[in-house]
């Protein structure tokens, strides 16, 4: 039952997370129907989504170590750290792209900068959580609200930039922004599919695997179309590798 629900939820999650990529690929392929593109992308995402749902279900046990007293503050610190990473890495990448013309050098610089930023921001966020833990309740709530507002505003600003890049006529910018959107959509869908309340749903366990098999078969047949695969590689590169593995030759 656990495996059946995982497969069924993975099929639903794959259909959900592939919607943004479907819109981009469909706009590039006037001859292909939106539903056909959607099924093809969902079939490409099905295998990784099944693995993600199963892994996240197992990781739930490890996450219980973060429970207990002060768990809300720890969760706030992790969310603040992830928000800082998203904004910081986005700004760092935009600066490198504007000032560096050697792609290999830019990639190495970004890698080392990302490690430094992740380490430094983790230390700062841990210190912020420590300060909030020692602060009075009223002060703690006010500081948390202020920091949360600033983090949400910064993430929203970066998200607007990603949307603008995805809608631009510059193919590299559109593909890069689309990759970020697709990865976030995949992660959110996988987290929702790994919820504990869905583990023992008998209907999902019975219906899910046949639906997933049909989705995979139809999507694999659709992905034999070379122009569709080319459009996926250009507009939704996050799905390209999985799509090439799904095609039955």
Per-residue pLDDT reduced to its tens digit, 164-180: 666 555 566 667 777 87
Query: Residue range 127-142: average pLDDT?
Result: 86
What is residue 28's three-state secondary structure? helix
**Higher pLDDT pick, 145 / 171:** 145
What's the pLDDT score for residue 237?
A: 86
Average the pLDDT over each of 65-69, 130-134, 218-222 and give the range with the smallest value: 65-69
Are the beta carbons of 49 and 193 closer than 8 angstroms?
Answer: yes
End-to-end CA distance of the chain: 32
C-alpha angle 12-18-22 in degrees, rounded to nearest 5: 135
Q: With contact defined as beta carbons under 8 Å apart, do 115 and 155 qualify?
A: no
Does residue 187 have a pLDDT over 80? yes
Among candidate residues 53, 79, 54, the one with its CA nearest the CA of residue 66: 79
| Three-state secondary structure call for residue 11 | helix
Distance CA 29, CA 64 (A): 46
Residue 32, pLDDT score: 63
pTM: 0.68
DSSP state of 69: T
Each residue's pLDDT tens digit, 1-33:
878 888 888 899 999 999 988 888 888 776 667
């Amino acid at each position: 039952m656990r495996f059946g629900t995982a497969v069924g939820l993975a099929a639903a999650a794959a259909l959900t997370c592939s919607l943004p990529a479907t819109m981009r690929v469909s706009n590039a392929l006037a001859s292909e129907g939106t539903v056909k593109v959607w099924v093809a992308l969902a079939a490409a995402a099905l295998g990784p989504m099944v693995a993600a749902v199963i892994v996240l279900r197992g990781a739930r046990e490890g996450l219980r170590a973060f429970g207990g007293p002060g768990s809300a503050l720890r969760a706030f610190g992790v969310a603040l750290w992830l928000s800082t990473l998203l904004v910081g890495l986005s700004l760092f990448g935009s600066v490198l792209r504007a000032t560096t013309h050697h792609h290999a050098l830019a990639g190495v610089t970004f890698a080392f900068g990302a490690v430094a930023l992740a380490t430094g921001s983790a230390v700062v966020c841990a210190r912020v959580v420590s300060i909030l833990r020692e602060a009075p309740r009223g002060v703690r709530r006010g500081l948390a609200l202020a920091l949360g507002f600033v983090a949400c505003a910064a993430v929203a600003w970066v998200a607007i930039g990603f949307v603008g890049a995805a809608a631009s006529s510059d193919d590299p910018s559109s593909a890069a922004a689309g990759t970020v959107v697709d990865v976030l959509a995949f992660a959110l869908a996988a987290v929702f599919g790994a919820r504990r309340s869905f583990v023992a749903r008998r209907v999902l366990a019975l219906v899910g695997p046949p639906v997933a098999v049909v989705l995979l078969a139809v999507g694999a047949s659709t992905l034999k179309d070379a122009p569709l695969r080319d459009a996926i590689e250009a507009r939704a590169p996050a799905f390209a590798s999985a799509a090439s593995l799904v095609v039955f030759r």
